[in-house]
Homo-oligomer: A and B are copies of this chain.
Amino acid sequence: MPTPVFLPVGSQATVKTLIPQELKDIGVRMVLANAYHLYLRPGVEVVEKLGGLHKFMAWDGAILTDSGGFQIFSLASLRRVTDDGVLFRSHIDGSEHFITPGLAIQYQEALGADVSMVLDECAAHDEPFDKVKEAMERTHLWAERCLKAHKHPGQSLYAIVQGGTYPELRRQSATYLTSLGFSGYAIGGLSVGEPKELTFSMLEQTVPLLPQDKPRYLMGVGSPEDIVEGVARGIDIFDCAMPTRVARNGALYTWEGRRNIRNAAYSRMEAPVMTVCGCYTCRTFSAAYLHHLFKSEELLAYRLATIHNLSFMSELMRRIRESIVSGTFEAFKNEFLASYTPTDEQVRLTQKQKWLKARRQG
């Protein structure tokens, strides 16, 4: 698979609103699914019985499953973390579950992912050194156990570097995990609230210590501008829910930055939201139509916006790859960052009432 690559997020075995063919048309080669979500619902054994994740979601492209480490530490309610594993409560129904590194691998093998991830412990970005160190050391212990548990020859297993925002821990983690020998190396626990300079600085500490010939994967990143910065620091794989999530809130990517399609400026615009875009949405509909769908809380709005944003990400990654091949990435990066205005604007979450209405209307 050509890299750098961006993986759309399909935690629950669906990239929200889209069918597999649309992902193909957009140029998507690999998606991320989440073992935590699928373990809780519909259950690993259900997916396995139905022929594995590819068949279940009718996707013949590649699938990377996250082990669920991050979700257990962010979504679930934690009961106890020991070297053995994590006791947690489901965010869906409060039921209690115990996961170990071995089980995490077993579940991902049963799901039939092409790439699986080790179980890791994620410390919050503002925790003290000792706490972060402890989480890192447990992540290392678990990585070893995952490697031992990993049996499926057709499945790659990636390690996850931790260490918070402490350069010495990041270096230590990268070096140690590299010594164990994985098929790929992820960098976890970044872009979780820390300042961006710190995110990038951690990459600079970590990436040079990872094997040159193995994929390097920055988990949960990100925005177009962060991806460009990540590529500049040697990252090959990215995943992030942001392009699809902000799409559903009406924020559409353009080469100049995110645009809020709900803005009145679009209410009569005959042109597509992005004139230079070749995606289905921009080829077919005016910005005014998309604006109308969002104002009317029509479900098609979320789908058309998702198609546009994933197409944008696909085109961004294509341009990045092209510029790397032609040796002009640095120029591309500077040009892109000069014209693209990042936004901190939190696109307003639509109220419960509107959703309910959209559902009720026939």
Contact = CB atoms under 8 A, between A and B. Distances in A.
Given A14-B300, A268-B49, A286-B50, A42 B244 contact: no
Interface stretch (A102-110, A144-152, A162-170, A353-361): A353-361
B248 A298 contact: no
A288 interface: yes
Contacts of A41: 292, 295-296
B349 A292 contact: no
A100 interface: no
Contacts of A284: 19-20, 58
A268 B296 CA distance: 36
A77 interface: no
A268 B37 CA distance: 17
Interface residues of A, number: 56
Copies of this chain, tallied across the complex: 2
A245 interface: yes
A14 B293 contact: yes
A9 B356 contact: no
Interface of A: 9, 11-14, 16-20, 37, 41-42, 46, 49-51, 56-58, 241-242, 244-245, 248, 267-268, 270, 280, 284-286, 288-289, 291-293, 295-296, 298-300, 302-304, 349-350, 352-353, 355-356, 358-362
A359 B267 contact: no
Contact of A352 (B46, B295, B349, B355): B355
A360 B11 CA distance: 13
